[in-house]
Chains A and B, each alone.
Chain A
């Protein structure tokens, strides 16, 4: 069986991160933008676990666990804000949410 290389982790993580970033910058649906942010955080976790595996350390894996916990907290708050928004106005399109700026 072929040995896994650290580079493979890095490529996977970089690819996911870039996909997520492009998604955030181009999409207009609030939920999709939020999913792309989650994708970026997943890329971070893969990078941390990959590096930890390369160094044979625990530090990176523990960091990844904390990032997962924080991502969960972020999801709760983000979905809460989106819920409150859709109750006021039935839309998840970021372009239709523009009352500020006069």
Chain B
């Protein structure tokens, strides 16, 4: 086949190009600005992220246009992923700028470099969402992961940060190798790396048979294991608690969301779309993974005293809930709610989980530690922050009418629609278990006496970020309908 050079449709990749432009602007500002004025770069990053978010409006996502030889797709699925990732980016920059500048041995964490890494990781996740080819998908995942490894070890004078980074890096690169080996086998069995073509080829190979041939099964398992590491599903979660605990707190907030969104976007693109005809084989696998993950995460979280570590296990539990949405996907009898609930959950999770980590950051600014005792008496010391933390904890627990409740509600609906009642029951039971450790934080805030030194400090940007997330957690719960409608558009993207 002769190669044809066609002009790419640059209009479709404007959101990504704006991020690239912002990265260049930050690097240039790093050279020009004097050392004490470098805090200004966080504004450049915010402007870039908001501009990219606004540019999503310029593209007609319903058309499902592709460019770069169908390697890059602008469909409703990629719109939603872009939206979640960019929103998470804005919030992460808001909560991290004061932390990076003033905590962890002042001056050891250069702001511009930090932001450049965050932006690269965001760009990687956006590329995963828009990928129409295994090659682009792999590059996007790696771009996001590599930047996150460095961010984890960004407090480079602190041993725990480096330890988290090392473990994250070793297991992350190990899982990347497994993932890409799986991609090689997909290529070997189907003869193509384009995701829609893989779907056609797999359909032909299967040809109505019940079990796939061994090579295809191997490819499926390798890809599923590789991506399970990225989203921290049990038993591939070993890096998660250490990396979250060791990383600087805003980085923990960030990496509990964006790499996870990228991982789920990749899972949906590869499993639901590319290997969709094999759904009979992988649905049960994903369902079992979901159950183990949600119970393990929530049960182990109960015994944690370190709040960052507790939130790490809680995020493993949430991975389990989100996997339920994917397990409800069925290629033969398409269930609209399935991937829609996955997307909605990721959106909800962004607000409540970054919010919870933001409160920990807020406490660290006031001379507190990261263990449960630092929350003692917060209700007296700062009623507003305590209220925000209560909202986040209740939302993560799934109390109506907060956004976390609707996220779980839609996931359960999807499971019921797919006739997997046992999976829906498991979600409810696991949520009940999770109430233990979420409520313990609330009890500490309101019923224990304050202890330890308290250093009042002004952190306006962090406060604004907390306000946005707390209001978002409440308001988006009331107005979850429009968001869900947007998430349900994935059906157009996949031509199921």
Contacts and interface: CB of A to CB of B under 8 A. Distances in A.
A97 B166 contact: yes
B180 interface: yes
Contacts of A21: 178
B374 to A, nearest CB: 15
B159 interface: yes
B163 A60 contact: no
A7 to B, nearest CB: 11
B153 A81 contact: yes
Interface string B172-184: 0110111011011
Given A51-B184, A100-B245, A74 B176 contact: yes
A80 B309 CA distance: 25
B157 interface: yes
Interface string B276-311: 000000000000000000000000000001100100
B139 interface: yes
B162 A44 contact: no
B139 A70 contact: yes
Contacts, number: 117
B246 A100 contact: yes
A39 B330 CA distance: 37
Interface in B181-233: 181, 183-185, 187-188, 191-193
Contacts of B166: 30, 81-82, 85, 94, 97
Contacts of A57: 191
A17 B180 CA distance: 11
A101 B310 CA distance: 11
A84 B180 contact: no
A20 B184 contact: no
B159 A89 contact: yes
A66 B138 contact: yes
A70 B124 CA distance: 13
A16 B138 CA distance: 21
Given A63-B135, A100-B246, A74 B184 contact: no
Nearest to B3: A58
A102 interface: yes
Interface in A24-61: 24, 30, 33-34, 37, 40-41, 43-44, 47-48, 50-51, 54-55, 57, 59-60
Contacts of B245: 100-101
A66 B159 contact: no
Contact of B191 (A55, A77, A85): A55
Interface string A57-94: 10110110011001001100110111011001100001
B416 interface: no
Nearest to A52: B187
Given A63-B193, A66-B138, A44 B180 contact: yes
Contact of A66 (B139, B153, B173): B139
B188 A101 contact: no
A46 to B, nearest CB: 9
Contact of A81 (B134, B142, B149): B149
Nearest to B179: A44
Contact of B192 (A59, A74, A99): A59
Contact of A74 (B142, B162, B187): B142
A88 B159 contact: yes
B241 interface: yes
Contact of B177 (A37, A88, A89): A37
Contacts of B309: 101
Interface string B360-371: 000000000000
Contacts of B439: none
A92 to B, nearest CB: 10
Contacts of A30: 166, 170
A81 to B, nearest CB: 5
Given A81-B149, A94-B170, 20 more contacts: A30-B166, A40-B174, A40-B181, A43-B181, A47-B181, A54-B188, A59-B192, A70-B142, A73-B142, A74-B146, A74-B173, A77-B146, A77-B149, A78-B169, A81-B165, A85-B163, A88-B157, A89-B159, A100-B160, A100-B241
5 contacts: A37-B174, A55-B191, A67-B180, A70-B139, A101-B242
The 8 closest A-B pairs by CB, nearest first: A40-B177, A47-B184, A51-B188, A100-B242, A37-B173, A85-B162, A70-B142, A44-B181
